[in-house]
Amino acid sequence: MGCAHRWQMKTAVFGGHSPPYEKEFSKHGIPNIFQRNGVSVMIIGFHHPGISVPDLEKAREFYTRVLGFEVLFEEKWDAPNSVYDQGVGLENSSARGYVLKGANCYLELWQYTAPAAAGDPLQEGANDYGISHLGFEVDDVPAEYERLKSLGGIVMNPPVAFSDGGSAVYCRDPFGNIIEFTTAGKGFPALNELTMISDAQ
């Protein structure tokens, strides 16, 4: 079934356990570091987005070559599998996927063979409801834009430079999912401005 330990961890989230903000420390021994209205918020960090694609190997090739992700492991399940069906909220699902590691984030790529997929990301814009794009901070937006274009990405418009010194560009992966490359200026926070767990301990 592949990496069942991940679903054991996720099952704890779905199982209705006590909210972690009632405890001084999370189950990983990490202290509560964010306070919101007097409540300690136990989000450790943004872990990963997941992308459903029609061609898993083409997606793996794009995200490893263009964005520099590294494949950690592969997962696969076939119907019937009640554990995975419960986890993903589908019935009689079958899928194969990769978990990838990048700079400061992970990424999941999934190709479902059942149930049949619907929708076409190429027909959706940044204004459509739902998660509209994946934003990646880079050192050189124009250079990454040119590299994406040369390796099979779909370009929309050239990069734009902002008055605060930042820059950004929206592109698409081979399946139409929108990707943003951005360099933070004075008016937009950079990744290194986040409070890291190691800084809070």
Report the percentage of the chain scoring pLDDT > 70.
75
Band (10; pLDDT cuts 50, 70, 90) = very low
**pLDDT per position as a tens digit, 39-66:** 666 666 788 999 999 999 999 999 999 9
Residue 120 Cα distances to 46, 158, 173, angstroms: 26, 23, 13
**pLDDT per position as a tens digit, 104-117:** 899 999 999 999 98
The residue written with tokens 């599998």 in the block is 81
The residue written with tokens 């959706």 in the block is 124
Nearest partner of 98 among 88, 113, 111, 117, judged by Cα: 111
Domains and CATH numbers, the chain: 46-118 (3.10.180.10), 119-193 (3.10.180.10)
Q: Helices marked H in 126-176 — which ranges?
A: 141-150
**pLDDT per position as a tens digit, 125-151:** 988 888 899 999 999 999 999 999 998
- Residues β-bridged to residue 110: 52, 97
Helix (H, G, I), strand (E, B) or coil at 192: helix
pLDDT at residue 35 above 80? no
